[in-house]
Structure formats: structure tokens, C-alpha cells
């Protein structure tokens, strides 16, 4: 009797949700609601405006999709006309695709009743006009894309819209959408239910709150910005810029980094320089950046999630740098995007559900504390474990110290959280000449050639083969994005690591197997001689001849 009763967790089936939604939730193996879902969904079902603040990976998407689907199903029982009643806005095309995919999964048992449309794709407005004229129940898009359709008259929401969602709200203004948001609101009715989802409660979020929310309920979890040290281990290592390449090469080759990893760099050029460098030493990696078509970017994420790649090199200038320049940097970025240089509606560090990421590596240290949080937030999601490793050069030390100071309020002793990575650079001197050869081969001209070649290739596979892949989805599954397409000449002496250069202190910790047992990809290594022997042994006549010759040879040796 004296034992404390555990606080009851409200289950999905206790929220009064439609049976078809419960079946979809069960199919997705969402056993128990997350804390933010438990608090926000019942309030949303009551019709209240919601401002939800929770860190990445806590299930905020379900907080708005589940009540939206439930309310649409209720409305359509008595509705006489098909109308667009829900609008979901996200700051990047990747997030739009992700939200739409989740909508499809949650409506798998009511797909005939609830229809959604993602209008964020890089296609002409006219090509989506007929789809919008069918009045899908839910429209997903970026603020600028939605505004363009509203101005063109392809979509009229003044009399039908009931629910509005702004996901990753703290990123919307930094992408340069402030003007678009203000203009967009003039096309919406005065009364609607609104959802604002954010990882932080920044000044930008407060501005959007004043624009679209009416007496909202603020659902804010008492939690640190990042998971605690039992779930997320954070390391840093001080090194010079060129040593970053040496360090990553060594960590990967010695298998000190295991599992799927995201490597963040500061620019698109650095993406390709690092990819070329790794290609020279026999390490395959994908690049994802704002210059690639949206179809390619989403395909890379999907393949990474299914385990086709273990290493992705990402640049996310749009979402990582605005904190350093405020609104001006957002305007500059949007100006660059209009000139055709980059996709302004791109985002990797924020919100994208990279699944089962074991490691996040800050190859270049992020420009702000928020950027650090959102990069590292790609790992240790949900209940999974993860690790973050930051390479910090002398010039980046002020950023690192500022980040520690900003996050000190979340932890009792911040120095015990950001642990130094105990790795002695002098122990890997044997790798230096190899790394230097590969580093010198990744020249500026080679980077420009690789960058142009990658864009041409990805645009071709994204647009020209789109129809073919729609008809042959299996071929799309095997399309790879980690090839260097002849731009890197693999030097065999750099591909393999001889035992004599492996430091004695690391030989027992590298996870390397004996020669001939397996390579980096986990496939068994079979020599040509072994292949010939196996082929002869599989042939009944040859194997018989081989065994008889062995016996005759043994007899001769005995006679001698």
C-alpha cells in the first residue's frame, strides 16, 4: 500500500481515436505514445491551438497528423462536398516528403476517405493545378510553394480550411519565409485550428505564434536540449584542418567508427573534397547537399535508412548558418537560390528522420549552438543510443566554447558531458603519408569536376528516368549514389591498411578481422586461387581426378 503507484500513461486506444487510425498505428508498431504525443493529442482533439516544443526524435509529427486525420474522418461523415480542410507547411522539401509519407502510413486503412497531396516538388505550377482542383483533404508544401498556388488561383482555402500546421517553426523565418507567411495568411479564413511544432522557442517562433495562433496551449516538455549521457555520448578532439582528413580516414579504416554515420561539413565544396579524398583511399560515401534534385536527395535518405550506405557527407548551409547572420543571411541565401545556385527549400540537419544513425561527426564545427543541437539530434533518437564526435580546429575553438557555455544550463557539469576523445595523433603518423597523397589528389579542379559531374548525373537520373523508375521500382532500389564515376583513381596501396602501421595500442580495439576473413563491407574475401580450387572441386570429374592424383602422389612419396 505504501508503494508509489506508477503514473498512468494514456494509451492511443484511450484517446477516442477512430478505429482505422488505431489499426494504422498498430501496423507502424507505435506501442505507446511519446510524452509529447500523450499531452498534445487529447488537447488537439478538443480543438485547441497547440504550440508544442520538444527536441527532435520525440514524435512531434504524430502530434498533428493523428488529430487531423481523426477530425477529417469525423467531418467527412456529414460533409456534402470534397474540400481541402488541412494545410501542412514545412520549411524544406525533404520535410514535406517526410510529412506526406507519414500521412500515407497513418491513412493506410482509410486511404479512400482521406487524400493528401505534396506540392513541394520541383515541377511547374500548372502540372499540379489539376491535382489541386480535385480538392485533396490535406495539402503539404513549403510556404512559398503554397503561396504561389494561392496567387495563381489553383487553390482556394478561404471557406474550407479548418486546420493549419507549421512544422519546424523555428526554421521558417531563417529560410526567408517571413514575407511569404504574412502574404499567405491573407488567403486563409480568420478562424481555424493551428499547430506550431518546434524544437526551440526562439524569437522567430514567438513571431509566428502571434501571426497564426489564438489562445494556444503551450506543451513544453521539461527536458534538456539533447538526450542525457546515458543515451548520447559526446566527444570532441582538437586537431588542425588537414588532420581532420587523416583522422576520419584512420577512424573508418580501423573500424573505430561502427554503424551508420552522418558527417557534416560547412560547404558543398567540402562535401566533394571529402568524398574525393575518401574515394582515393577506398572508402565509399554519399554526398547530400542543396544542389542535388529533391528526388535524388529523398532517394539517398531512403537508401541510407534501408542500410545501402553507411556513410553520408552532408552540407546544410540553409539551416545551419542563419543564426550567425540573422535575417540578412536568410535573405542572402534566398537571393542565391533565385539565381539558380542552390535549393532554398533544402534541409538535412533539421527534422529529417535518418533512421538508426549510430554516429554524427562534425567534420567542420557548426556555426551556432542551435546548429550543433540539430546536427547531433540526428542520432540517439527515440530510445536508441548514439555518439557525436566533433573535430575542432584552433580557429573553431571560440565556437566550441560558446556552444558549451550556451548548453551549460542543461547540465550540472558541462565538461563531463563534452568529453575529450582520447586519441593520440602521434600514434597514427604511419597513416599520414597515405592521407597526404589522397588529400593532394583532391584538388580544386577535381572538386569542381566532381561537383559538376554529380549534379549532371543526379539530374539525369532524377528527371529522365522518373517514368522508368515508376514502372520499375526494383531498379530504383539498386541505383546507387556513392559512385565517383571515374573521377577518382583508386590507388591500391592506399586502399588496404598493412598491420605494421597500425598502432600497438589500437590493434586490439579496431575490430579488424584476420586477413582473408572479411573486408570493410563485411563480404568474405576469396582469392582467385581459392575460386579456381572451389570450381574444380564442384566438378565431380575434376574433383575425382584431383583426389586420385593426390593419392598417387602420396604413394610415390612413401616408396621414396
| Assigned C-alpha cell, 84 | 481541402
Among candidate residues 418, 425, 379, 424, the one with its CA nearest the CA of residue 400: 418
Same domain? 69 vs 95: yes
Q: Is residue 408 part of a domain?
A: yes
Q: How far is CA 187 from CA 85, 153, 345, in A?
A: 14, 10, 22
Do 382 and 343 share a structural domain?
A: yes
Query: Using CA of residue 128, residue 133, residue 139, residue 144, what is the dihedral sign?
Result: positive
| Residue 407: per-residue pLDDT | 86
Residues 344 and 206 in one domain: no
DSSP 55-84: -TTS-HHHHHHHHHHHHHHHHHTT-SS---
Confidence at residue 132, expressed as pLDDT on a 0 to 100 scale: 96
**CB under 8 Å to 400, separation ≥6 — which residues?**
236, 365, 390, 392
Q: Are residues 92 and 137 in the same domain?
A: yes
Residue 289 lies in domain: 232-506
Instruction: Judge whether 551 lies within some domain.
Output: no
Could you tell me if residue 559 is inside a domain?
A: no
**Would 285 be classed as within a structural domain?**
yes
Any domain includes 444: yes
Residue with cell 583426389: 547
Integer angstrom CA distances of residue 336 from 143, 296, 367, 546 = 18, 21, 19, 70
82 and 187 assigned to the same domain: yes
Establish if 524 belongs to a structural domain.
Answer: no
Residue 418 shares a structural domain with residue 475: yes
3-state secondary structure 78-130: CCCCCCCCEEEECCCHHHHHHHHHHHHHHCCCCCCCCCEEECCCCCCHHHHHH
Assess whether 322 and 430 both reside in one domain: yes
pTM for the structure as a whole: 0.71
Residues 373 and 469 grouped into a single domain = yes
Mean pLDDT by 10 residues, the chain (560 residues): 60 96 96 93 96 86 97 94 96 91 96 95 89 96 96 95 94 85 95 91 86 92 80 93 94 91 93 92 88 80 86 70 38 43 57 82 92 87 88 94 87 80 85 90 90 78 60 64 55 71 71 41 53 59 49 53
Record the cell numbers describing residue 345, joined without a space.
Answer: 527549400
Q: Which three cell numbers stand for residue 194?
A: 493551428
Domain co-membership, 39 together with 98: yes
Q: Give a yes or no: residue 542 inside a domain.
A: no
What confidence score (pLDDT) does residue 538 get? 55
Same domain, 337 and 401: yes
pLDDT confidence of residue 519: 36
| Overall residue count recorded for the chain in this entry | 560
* Measured distance CA(557)–CA(358) in Å, rounded: 58
Final residue belonging to a domain, choices 465, 483, 506: 506
Exposed, middle or buried by CB within 10 Å (0-12, 13-18, 19+), for 427? Answer: middle
Q: Which of 166, 199, 220 is the last residue of a domain?
A: 220
Residue 29 lies in a domain: yes
Q: How many domains does the chain have?
A: 2
Structure confidence at residue 470 (pLDDT): 63
CA angle in degrees (0–180, nearest 5) for 220-221-226: 120
- Which of 193, 220, 247 is the last residue before a domain boundary? 220
Whether residue 139 sits in one domain with residue 117: yes
Q: What is the dihedral of CA 29, 35, 38, 43, to 10 degrees?
A: -140
Q: Are 87 and 139 found together in one domain? A: yes
**Cell for 368?**
551556432
What is the arrangement of strands in the sheet containing 286-288, beginning at the earlier edge strand?
A: 286-288, 311-315, 260-265, 357-362, 386-392, 232-238, 418-420
The pLDDT, as a whole number, for residue 493 is: 64
The answer to whether 417 and 398 are in contact (CB under 8 A) is: no
Residue with cell 552532408: 314
Domain of residue 202, CATH code: 3.40.50.300
Amino acid at each position: 500500500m505504501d508503494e508509489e503507484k506508477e503514473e498512468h500513461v494514456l494509451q492511443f486506444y484511450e484517446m477516442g481515436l477512430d478505429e482505422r487510425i488505431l489499426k494504422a498505428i498498430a501496423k507502424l508498431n507505435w506501442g505507446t505514445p511519446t510524452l509529447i504525443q500523450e499531452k498534445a493529442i487529447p488537447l488537439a482533439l478538443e480543438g485547441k491551438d497547440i504550440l508544442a516544443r520538444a527536441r527532435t526524435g520525440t514524435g512531434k509529427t504524430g502530434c498533428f497528423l493523428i488529430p487531423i486525420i481523426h477530425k477529417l474522418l469525423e467531418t467527412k461523415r456529414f460533409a456534402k462536398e470534397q474540400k481541402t480542410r488541412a494545410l501542412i507547411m514545412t520549411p524544406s522539401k525533404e520535410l514535406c516528403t517526410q510529412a506526406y509519407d507519414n500521412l500515407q502510413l497513418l491513412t493506410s486503412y482509410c486511404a479512400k476517405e482521406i487524400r493528401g497531396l505534396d506540392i513541394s516538388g520541383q515541377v511547374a505550377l500548372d502540372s499540379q493545378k489539376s491535382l489541386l482542383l480535385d480538392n485533396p483533404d490535406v495539402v503539404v508544401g513549403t510556404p512559398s510553394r503554397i503561396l504561389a498556388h494561392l496567387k495563381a488561383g489553383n487553390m482556394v482555402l478561404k471557406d474550407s480550411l479548418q486546420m493549419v500546421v507549421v512544422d519546424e517553426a523555428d526554421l521558417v523565418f531563417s529560410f526567408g519565409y517571413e514575407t511569404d507567411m504574412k502574404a499567405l495568411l491573407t488567403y486563409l479564413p480568420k478562424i481555424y485550428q493551428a499547430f506550431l511544432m518546434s524544437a526551440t522557442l526562439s524569437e522567430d517562433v514567438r513571431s509566428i505564434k502571434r501571426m497564426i495562433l489564438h489562445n494556444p496551449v503551450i506543451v513544453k516538455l521539461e527536458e534538456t536540449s539533447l538526450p542525457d549521457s546515458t543515451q548520447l555520448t559526446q566527444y570532441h578532439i582538437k586537431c588542425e584542418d588537414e588532420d581532420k582528413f587523416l583522422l576520419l580516414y584512420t577512424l573508418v579504416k580501423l573500424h573505430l567508427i561502427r554503424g551508420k554515420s552522418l558527417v557534416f561539413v560547412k560547404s558543398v565544396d567540402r562535401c566533394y573534397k571529402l568524398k574525393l579524398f575518401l574515394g582515393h583511399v577506398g572508402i565509399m560515401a554519399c554526398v547530400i547537399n542543396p544542389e542535388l534534385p529533391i528526388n535524388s536527395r529523398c532517394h539517398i535518405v531512403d537508401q541510407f535508412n534501408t542500410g545501402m550506405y553507411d556513410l553520408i557527407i552532408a552540407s546544410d548551409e540553409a539551416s545551419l548558418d542563419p543564426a550567425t547572420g540573422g535575417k540578412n543571411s536568410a535573405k542572402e541565401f534566398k537571393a542565391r537560390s533565385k539565381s539558380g545556385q542552390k535549393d532554398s527549400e533544402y534541409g538535412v540537419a533539421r527534422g529529417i528522420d535518418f533512421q538508426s544513425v549510430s554516429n554524427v561527426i562534425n567534420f567542420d564545427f557548426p556555426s551556432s549552438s542551435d546548429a550543433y543541437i540539430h546536427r547531433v539530434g540526428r542520432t540517439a533518437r527515440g530510445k536508441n543510443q548514439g555518439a557525436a564526435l566533433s573535430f575542432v580546429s584552433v580557429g573553431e575553438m571560440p565556437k566550441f566554447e560558446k556552444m558549451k557555455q550556451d548548453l551549460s544550463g542543461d547540465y550540472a557539469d558541462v565538461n563531463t558531458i563534452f568529453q575529450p576523445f582520447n586519441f593520440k595523433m602521434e600514434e597514427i603518423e604511419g597513416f599520414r603519408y597515405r592521407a597526404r597523397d589522397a588529400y593532394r589528389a583532391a584538388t580544386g579542379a577535381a572538386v569542381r569536376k566532381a561537383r559538376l559531374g554529380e549534379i549532371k548525373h543526379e539530374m539525369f537520373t532524377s528527371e529522365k528516368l522518373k517514368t522508368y523508375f515508376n514502372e520499375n521500382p526494383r531498379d530504383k532500389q539498386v541505383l546507387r549514389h556513392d559512385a565517383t564515376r571515374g573521377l577518382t583513381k583508386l590507388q591500391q596501396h592506399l586502399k588496404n591498411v598493412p598491420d605494421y602501421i597500425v598502432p600497438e595500442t589500437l590493434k586490439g580495439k579496431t575490430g579488424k578481422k584476420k586477413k582473408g576473413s572479411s573486408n570493410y563491407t563485411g563480404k568474405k574475401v576469396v582469392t582467385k586461387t581459392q575460386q579456381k580450387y572451389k570450381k574444380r572441386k564442384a566438378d565431380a570429374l575434376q574433383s575425382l581426378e584431383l583426389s586420385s592424383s593426390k593419392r598417387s602422389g602420396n604413394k610415390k612419396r612413401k616408396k621414396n
